[in-house]
A = this chain, B = another copy of it.
């Protein structure tokens, strides 16, 4: 940690800070420049992070040097983490994982039909929401446990890994009972109690980046889960909120290589929610594979016109199948496979 002092900082103020730093068991290094004095602090920054050095008289700015996350960092683990999702599917290796399915589970029949189609096209994970986070209290909120049962049934029948969102600390046990992978949605990325709760299960967790969360914050949220004992975390870039309004969100494609530099955790991309328009899902999926993502999560619906949620961004099975074909060719020249 670097403490930059104001030009007018007095000797007394400098000594007051030095004493505080020493009292915390750390070693201060003082460098007096022509314009101002700087104090470098050597030792574990955690201790300092909870001390508001900015309020000490004479201090202008405090600049942390070390990253605040530990377990998720590349320095903690050099090699890429590979997450076992069950049913023979592993995420984070040469083989890309494609998750597909409807935004919300509507009924067993439609789910079975969609599941059959996405499996045929090469998806190995079936997505489907039973608890839906909806901006409006008047919108369809999901089928709840009924939906989870359908998802489990179809997943078991077809040998597909299942994933569904959990929104409430009280539902973690329930959702974990039925699905293979727990999804934390973007609005709950900083629902810290929920993170702690899924950290206590051993289930793989897909953690979606918050709409306005920095990559550092995403990693800190993952750190909550890992520090609870669950290292089976998959990160997901799904677009951030910017001023641009021609897409629902702005897919931050750079997040994939940036995260891969900082962390050992795998990263997938959700082009459907990023774009909000089905017509952009194919090009964005290809970009995601090219940039190095470990997988994709894509909304597919047999009848988007009748979907209860996010119809506008759902691919019909034919388009999904044709996209999968293109992705397979693409993956191959990149040294991957699907």
Contacts and interface: CB of A to CB of B under 8 A. Distances in A.
A170 B167 contact: no
Contacts of A258: 246-247, 280
A242 B245 contact: no
Contact of A253 (B191, B257, B284): B284
Contacts of A227: 137-138
Nearest to A75: B7
Interface residues of A, number: 107
Nearest to A133: B192
Interface string A283-306: 110111111100000000000110
Contact of A217 (B135, B210, B292): B135
A286 B278 contact: no
Contact of A211 (B40, B191, B212, B247): B212
A68 B135 CA distance: 10
Interface stretch (A44-52, A85-93, A120-128, A149-157): A44-52
Contacts of A32: 42
Interface string A245-279: 11100111111111001000000000000110111
Given A46-B138, A254-B274, A283-B291, 8 more contacts: A34-B43, A54-B311, A55-B278, A136-B220, A211-B212, A212-B212, A214-B244, A257-B283
